[in-house]
Structure 1
Amino acid sequence: MEKILTKGKAFVDEFGRERIFNGINIVDKGKPTNGVREYAYSWEDDRIKRLKALGINLVRLGFTWDVIEPQPGKYNEKYIDFLSKTLDELHENGIYAFLDLHQDLYSGSKGGVGDGAPAWATLTDGYEFKDQRFVWAEGYFWGKAVHRSFDNFWNNTKVGGKGLQDYYADMIKHLTERLGNKPALLGIDFLNEPFPGSVSNQVIKSLLSSAVKVAFTSRNISRTKLLGDLIIKDRHKYILDNFNARVFAELVLGAAPVLNKFDVEKYNPFLNKMGAAVREVNNNLILFVDNSYYCNLGIPCLAGPIMVKGEKDKLQCFAPHGYDFGVDTPLYKYASNERIKFIFDEHRRTQERLGIPVIVGEWGGSSEGNEWFFHAKYILDMFDKHKWSHTYWVFFPELPDTEFAQTVLKRAYPIAVTGNITSYGQDWDKKSFTLEYMQDGDFDVPTEIFVPGKISVLELPEGAAAETEENDNCTILKIKSQVGKNRIKVSW
């Protein structure tokens, strides 16, 4: 597999081709069983080959701190061996991966309903985790055990004379030493959706205050329509339509100062510490900058860039997340393209500030039926417009055979391009794909495009030659093109 580097806001390989990644999350959060969390040490299916047939060329490979370091300074080498074998299997199938140190609600230990930290690193200051009553994330809103656990993590509170983040950095370093030279390994995402801890109370107060203000004073909302949608049962499905992008901005942007302070004072030092741990033993892995939990709403993010020894690290990318209301529920068919655009427009501004490439770490979710597919296609089109790579949330064993996987996730995209991409995109209705790029020199390797079917029509620039590899009802199109502007259009 080619070595992947970064160049400005793009990924490039060792040959100088611009690279795009079409990926998916495979995350092992552990399964609570009789008071113990059980983790998967093998995959008893052919998921990698099935994902390859969908055109997947990147996996966000998630697991928890709990499974890697169940006791202070004691690493679970058996599980790391499993990760090693998984990376080898991905390599054999031409699929890259990045490690995701996953967490939700800080921990699943001590009665917690989340996942992440081991029990010994879960310092709740005497508060107890509460059972879920409504939604999985409610512990973020009013769970004191969750808040205090994060407070102690960000404050690097000591356990056995050593700070929690110091343990964490050593764990990251150990993973890098064990796995860092695997050809399939792209980089490391240090912590899924970092949560700010007790200052979240200020965020919630700001959001609630803004909600009241918007409901009674905003010119961007019709109070008559909102009231009718709330009262009349048949109109409940239209409630979310009242919260367009302008209203959404009024709701969330007031919380920005609190989260920006967290990014600058707590999260950035953590990123720098983890980056330094990796760079002690490896200079080739890409360092990932995830946004904090509330920035999923489109609140401006001030995380990054990662600084190592006082300088901006040369290999890093931004890995934002974003979801619209109703995700993973029947309401998802009413998802708003306008709201999701607001969220990712803010992530785009963060990318411009950082000047680094993007892999959207989480997006999508799912629902019943196919009435929500329009929203997923809109999101993918938006990613293509920005030349963003992505990893869809989330894999489950039946996914590759679903209508969604076969008609949405399985799509055309440029794998590698011999030049600077100008634009690319798929016409979903016409089943065609167009790529334009500027080639400024000769290449010994071709431009490669994944085509989700057998090619029926191919339009090439003058002087170009093409070869195809067909398998599993898909095609890898390889094109040797000439210096200058190139335009390729393919239909299937």
Structure 2
Amino acid sequence: MRALRRPIVAVAATSLLLIIQAVIDPTGLLALVGWPGGTPRFDLWWPVARYIVFVPVMLAVVWWAAVRAGDRFWTLTAGVVLAAQLAQFAACFAMTGDLALAAWAGGYVTAKAVPTALIVAGVVRVVERMVARRRGLDTAMRAYSTDGTKGATVWPAAITVGAVAPLLAGSWWTGATYAPGIPTPRPGTDALGIVGMLVAIALLIGAAWLGIRWMRRRVPGFLGTWLGALVAGGLLGLAQGVIGLVVDDGFRGDLWPLMATYIHVADGLAVGACTGWIAAIVALIADRVVAQRAARSAGLADSAAGDAANEQRDVSPARIAAGAGVGVAVVAVAAIAATLIAPAAPAVATADNEASVPVGFLRVEDGRFTDGEGHQVLLRGVNVNQLVDFYQARPEVPVTRELTEQDFADMATYGFNVVRLGMSWSALEPTQGELDPEYLATVKQAVAWGEQHGIRTVLDMHQDGWSNLPTAEGTVCRPGTDPMWGYDGAPEWATHWDGTPRCSFTGRDISPAGDRAFEHFWFDTDGIQTALARTWGELAGEFADEKAVAGFDLLNEPGFGETAPVTTSKKNGEYSAKAIAAIREAGAPQIVFVEPSILWSGLGFDSGPSRGFTDDLNVAFSPHLYAESITMDASLGLPTIVSTERQFELGQRVADELGMPMWSGEYGYWGDDASTTAHLERYAAEEDRRMLGSAYWVWKQACGDPQNGIQELGNGLLSELCATGEEAPRKEHLLSILSRAYPQQAPGALTSLRAGVAGDDRAEFTLTGVVDQPTCGLQVWVPGTAEPEFSEERGLSRVELEQVDGGWLVTGCADGEYALASE
């Protein structure tokens, strides 16, 4: 193929694919560059960055790759992958100015870049064959012959790849996918972490030597080394995936090892794409040195003999040993430097540094919730959506059921001690800058009712699909999307759709209009993000003295907008920090609950907000643990990606990285009784094993709730018959599990917990704990009518029983290690 034909074909094929993807996928979820429709916003930078930055960068690198690496299918494939990742990096950097985030974001296009690269390389190959066949030319591929394949030029580049990795770690190798024991080049803060870093560097150097040597035999010069570094990153990811099979419990009833391996490979490719140019510069210098030596040797022999002599010297044992010694020295220096500059471990709230939280308020302390008086508190209860401002599909079918004091009295009979109370921004602040006094009064009334019945409240700024506005009448939805109902969330004054269609793709949370509205929120268009943070300050000020308010949940399942992970990580952290600051300025000391994006509820994992987004210590990480329930694998009929049990571990890893305790703000199961019972029993067992709390979705759900759909039977633990509006039989098969025995409050720290239900209505449980000094703070909920009988009361005194509606409260005092077990 002539010099210009191949890059022209490659760029044309890439351009056509970008256009086709944008047309087919308006959300941009599966396309490299999405086009949501609507009115272009040239007055803002972020809506056009993907077009005026991403597209030119990708096409330019594709051209370069086609010229230098285009005579082979696999080398061109690697070149197009590199192009996509560099384009993603450039666009994200242009939007945020954050180098580390932008480099990490390059990995997010892997699943889209690889198919695109395979197609482009395939088109180029087909066109080449057609042209060659027409002209009767030999189509065999010819290998380049370059001095870059020799050890003296490959080793310096390979060592460089390994040495820069810990120094430029950025956001790579963090989050739910990286189990302890998986070696990563990220600087470690302890002996095990340093060993893991050294192992990862060694693996990366070996992979780089293989990748660069293989690639430079086929692609000369600078690009060959860069592509070799890209391959090395992918090989490291594969190695991490294999190791993860061993250290991360393998295929434990789910496909997590495959998903984790994909993330490892994506991170590795991003590392290679964003740092490979450094190794390429080193390789050029090494090439120049070798060439100069070869030129001097040419004076003693002809060039062929000189080349042979150089080759022999390059692979001699002495040179290999010398190269290895230099490599070890470079890696050692890089490891020491990386360790010295490693970020400090996240701060964890302790009794000393949380002394500012007034007495009687719940707080974060030593990675758990406490009352500030030496007692661990488990928050277990339900979600209440009866104050949410839902879209109403039919005026005669109510969207909520009235919230009354009786609801709280009933909740208490199941031992619940917390309610996650859903509120709607649209109802709270229908006019910008003014909180609606009537709606605020209903929230205050709910908090007061909860306090009367021993139930704390988490105030949840709820949203689903951004707002309660449905598809506008007359909207023509593009193929692959459908008209949708509204749900709940933001007021109209905070909703910017730019004319994009309010149509859903596989569900309410993937919509061009919803994604665009969230993108405006994340980038604070017209100050709407700042407005919500200010609203949180005003709302928190209203409850600053309310000890019954456990905390504030900043935003329910925030959408990913159009540019994850910029939105789901960095922007989520920025909003959270802004809202936390407003809450504290209002004098509210309660816990703040921060959520990851809707991707967690849809996939079973996500990145969460950026590490270090806040220095506030009274903050908790609150993912929604819906694995094997409403995650996309379940809804699409795919094998389980994350199991019910594994989801706890993934959430805890992110919480630990953030230096926060974990609390699941939502989870739930729907379907036949046998299936939901089995799932909830597994969830409950794992929750007890980890001594965690949560809030089940949902207490009551009306027939007109858009999440329920208008059907014969309303959903929720307390359902209603839609035809009559009467109460349906309660879901006792679920309530009996949710109301199992647990310590609402435990002296010191719990060390183990197990609960179940035995025959004759007598609850079975075992708990152990340890306390530094004697205290009488034990309070255990035990369901049922039969008086509990204990088989063990170690380290406890003054154990007393009080019968209450629905069960019993067990109180007592503890000293040192203690245990309580029922018969």
TM range (shorter): 0.7 to 0.9
The reply to whether residue 432 of structure 1 matches residue 791 of structure 2 is no
- SS of 1:347's equivalent? helix
Equivalent residues in 2 for 1:314-325, closer than 5 Å: 314-325=617-628
Equivalent residues in 2 for 1:395-406, closer than 5 Å: 395-396=699-700, 399=717, 401-406=730-735
Cross-structure match for 2:54: none
Equivalent residues in 2 for 1:228-307, closer than 5 Å: 258-259=564-565, 261-296=566-601, 297-303=603-609, 307=613
Distance in structure 1 (CA, Å) of the matches to 2:793 and 2:645: 33
Structure 1: which amino acid aligns with 2:507?
Answer: E
Cross-structure match for 2:782: 451
Shift of 1:74: 2.3
Structure 1: which amino acid aligns with 2:801?
Answer: T
Structure 1: which amino acid aligns with 2:421?
Answer: L
The reply to whether residue 138 of structure 1 matches residue 499 of structure 2 is no
**TM-score with structure 1 setting the length:** 0.78
Cross-structure match for 2:549: 185
Distance in structure 1 (CA, Å) of the matches to 2:659 and 2:544: 25
Shift of 1:140: 3.0
Shift of 1:90: 0.6
- SS of 2:649's equivalent? helix
Distance in structure 2 (CA, Å) of the matches to 1:41 and 1:69: 22
Asked if the contact 1:457–1:490 (Cα under 8 Å) also holds between the matched residues in 2, the reply is yes
Distance in structure 2 (CA, Å) of the matches to 1:90 and 1:484: 33
The reply to whether residue 166 of structure 1 matches residue 495 of structure 2 is no
Asked if the contact 2:421–2:457 (Cα under 8 Å) also holds between the matched residues in 1, the reply is yes
**TM-score with structure 2 setting the length:** 0.48
Cross-structure match for 2:809: 476
The reply to whether residue 18 of structure 1 matches residue 376 of structure 2 is yes
Distance in structure 2 (CA, Å) of the matches to 1:301 and 1:294: 9
Whose radius of gyration is greater, 1 or 2? 2
Shift of 1:144: 1.2
Distance in structure 1 (CA, Å) of the matches to 2:398 and 2:391: 6
Which of 56, 76, 81 is the equivalent residue of 2:416?
56
Asked if the contact 2:423–2:460 (Cα under 8 Å) also holds between the matched residues in 1, the reply is yes
- SS of 2:445's equivalent? helix
When residues 409 and 168 of structure 1 are mapped into structure 2, their CA distance, relative to the original with a 3 A threshold, is same
Asked if the contact 2:540–2:588 (Cα under 8 Å) also holds between the matched residues in 1, the reply is no
Distance in structure 2 (CA, Å) of the matches to 1:182 and 1:16: 20
Provide, for residues 91-118 of structure 1, a one-character-per-residue CA deviation record: whole Å limited to 9, x for no partner.
Answer: 1111001111111111112645221011
When residues 306 and 280 of structure 1 are mapped into structure 2, their CA distance, relative to the original with a 3 A threshold, is farther
Provide, for residues 301-347 of structure 1, a one-character-per-residue CA deviation record: whole Å limited to 9, x for no partner.
Answer: 23156755xxx112111111121345499x89x99696222333211
Which of 67, 79, 90 is the equivalent residue of 2:450?
90
When residues 72 and 366 of structure 1 are mapped into structure 2, their CA distance, relative to the original with a 3 A threshold, is same
Cross-structure match for 1:116: 489
When residues 63 and 320 of structure 1 are mapped into structure 2, their CA distance, relative to the original with a 3 A threshold, is same
Distance in structure 1 (CA, Å) of the matches to 2:374 and 2:422: 29
Asked if the contact 1:32–1:38 (Cα under 8 Å) also holds between the matched residues in 2, the reply is no
When residues 268 and 406 of structure 1 are mapped into structure 2, their CA distance, relative to the original with a 3 A threshold, is closer
Cross-structure match for 1:202: none
The reply to whether residue 74 of structure 1 matches residue 447 of structure 2 is no
Distance in structure 1 (CA, Å) of the matches to 2:660 and 2:607: 14
Cross-structure match for 1:127: 500
Structure 1: which amino acid aligns with 2:665?
Answer: G
Shift of 1:380: 1.6
The reply to whether residue 423 of structure 1 matches residue 423 of structure 2 is no
Structure 2: which amino acid aligns with 1:472?
Answer: D
Structure 2 unpaired stretches of 5+: 1-358, 472-484, 702-715, 719-729
Higher helix share: 2
Structure 1 unpaired stretches of 5+: 200-257
Distance in structure 2 (CA, Å) of the matches to 1:286 and 1:456: 34
Provide, for residues 260-282 of structure 1, a one-character-per-residue CA deviation record: whole Å limited to 9, x for no partner.
Answer: x4333211111101111101112
Shift of 1:366: 2.5
Provide, for residues 337-361 of structure 1, a one-character-per-residue CA deviation record: whole Å limited to 9, x for no partner.
Answer: 9622233321111122122222101
When residues 98 and 304 of structure 1 are mapped into structure 2, their CA distance, relative to the original with a 3 A threshold, is farther
Distance in structure 2 (CA, Å) of the matches to 1:282 and 1:39: 35
When residues 463 and 435 of structure 1 are mapped into structure 2, their CA distance, relative to the original with a 3 A threshold, is closer
When residues 412 and 463 of structure 1 are mapped into structure 2, their CA distance, relative to the original with a 3 A threshold, is closer
